[in-house]
Amino acid sequence: MTISSLLVAVCMGTLVTADNSPPPVGETDVEQARNLFAVGSTAYTEGRYLVAAKAFEAADNLAPRAALVFSVGQSYRLQWTLDRQLVNLDKALAAYRQYLERAPSGRRRGDAVQHLALLEVERQHHRQSVATKESDQDRTELVVSASVPGAVVRVDGSDPKKLPLALEVSPGEHEVRVDAEGYTPFLVTLYAVEGRVTPLMARPEPLPATLQVLGPRGAEVYVDGQLFGRLPLAAPVSVSAGEPTIYLRKRGYKPMIRKVLLNKGERRTVTAKLRPTGQRRVAYGMFIGGITTAVMTGGLAAGVLVTYRGATRITNRTNRRAILPDELRAYNERRSLRNDLLVMTGISAGLTVLLGGTGAILYVTDNLKSASSEGIGFSSIEGQPAVHWTVQF
């Protein structure tokens, strides 16, 4: 473990169980102090000791803790080793002394005494190098951090700067914009109070992903259990980044369920192909069979008409003279064939009605099941809705 990581771990623990019990403070001050401590810890581990010192000082002003004062001393001492500015040396000395006053028997007493002795020697050696000490107590500053990595800040339209950041500003209102890849810009107007540090913890919202769903016209589209309409949708679906579940269903077709991995701000097109249900396939087969038997019925009916006309012509001739043996035989054959065709026509017509009617019944009754019967439901996890899917295929 590095020295920087060790200091952060010790400070975080000591912030909760300080050497001396701090005076009571408001919840708002405590929350701001925590944010400032987080900013200081991050800056400290990155070697940005001035930013860390200012954040720890501001946190101590809101919620006094001896551990915070010790962290201030550590930050200024390390900054002194980098820039050799006497003002940082003096601030480190003052912080260590204040720590010993607040926590005479604190856990870091030995470290504070040792640092004080060494710094006093260095102070004597460099007394002549700097004539005066600077004081930052009356400076007006913004301390800005963000809840997402890689964020940058622009204050009053300035060039972007990496966060966390401590920036001296003039008293009054300032436009602050925090940007991070994959997140919406975080915009806020801050009022900087003269002579004080104003903290800001920016929390940008992730950019939504966009989902374009294509498929059969009229199919219902659900995303994570929420109905977005029927295809074709008027506009793409805006969803949170992650792995949403897409569910499509249409009467007469098997439903489709698919998970899609979406990054923040990503645009994705999903094309769905639905297969007919077994009942719908049987209905189509019945329709085809009914059409076939209807054609057969028409052909048989035409045969009945032809044989009837042939028999009628023979009858018309025998009305004027006696019927000949050959004509009688032909007349009987036509009558017999006509009767056979009539029977076949009736059977074919019955099959047409049976197949067509059965197909129509199967087609009409092939309806969508209720959402609950298809396994679309909601459960609750820690008070938040969560979709569960139990679709059977």
Give domain 3-125's CATH architecture: Alpha Horseshoe (1.25)
Residue 387: its pLDDT value, please?
37
Partners of residue 158 on adjacent β-strands: none
Domains 3-125 and 209-277 share a fold: no
Give domain 141-202's CATH architecture: Sandwich (2.60)
- The pLDDT tens digits along the chain (393 residues) read 444 444 444 444 444 334 444 455 567 888 888 889 999 999 999 999 999 999 999 999 999 999 999 999 999 999 998 888 889 999 999 999 999 999 988 899 989 989 988 898 888 877 655 444 444 456 788 888 888 888 899 999 889 988 888 888 888 999 999 998 888 899 999 888 888 888 888 888 888 888 888 888 888 888 888 888 888 888 787 777 778 888 888 888 888 888 888 777 778 888 878 888 777 778 778 778 879 888 888 887 787 777 777 777 777 766 666 667 776 777 777 777 777 777 888 887 888 788 778 867 877 776 665 444 444 443 333 333 333 333 332
Residue 235: its pLDDT value, please?
79
| Strands of the 226-230 sheet, one edge to the other | 226-230, 220-223, 245-249, 256-259
Helices (H) and strands (E) in the chain, counts: 8, 16
Residue 182: what are its φ and ψ, rounded to 5°? 85, 5
pTM confidence score: 0.42
Decide: 186 and 207 in contact? Cβ < 8 Å. no
Residue 388: what are its φ and ψ, rounded to 5°? -125, 145
Written as six digits, the tokens of 311 are 């028999």
- Domain 209-277, classified CATH 3.40.640.10, yes or no: no
Residue 164: its pLDDT value, please?
86
Decide: 254 and 247 in contact? Cβ < 8 Å. no
* DSSP structural state of residue 220: E
Using CA atoms, how far residue 92 sits from 33, 84, 181, 391, in Å, is 21, 12, 38, 66
Round to whole Å and give the CA distance between 44 and 37. 10
How far is the first Cα of the chain from the last one, in angstroms, to the nearest whole number? 54
Using CA atoms, how far residue 335 sits from 247, 315, 325, 326, in Å, is 63, 12, 15, 14
Q: In the chain, where are the structural domains located?
A: 3-125, 141-202, 209-277, 278-365
CA 283 to chain centre: 41
Contacts of residue 233, Cβ cutoff 8 Å, sequence gap at least 6: 212, 213, 221
What does 82-150 look like in DSSP terms, one character per residue? HH--HHHHHHHHHHHHHHHHH-TT-TTHHHHHHHHHHHHHHHHHTTTT-SS----TT--EEEEEESSTT
10 Å CB burial of residue 294 (0-12, 13-18, 19+) is middle
Contacts of residue 216, Cβ cutoff 8 Å, sequence gap at least 6: 231, 250, 253, 272, 274
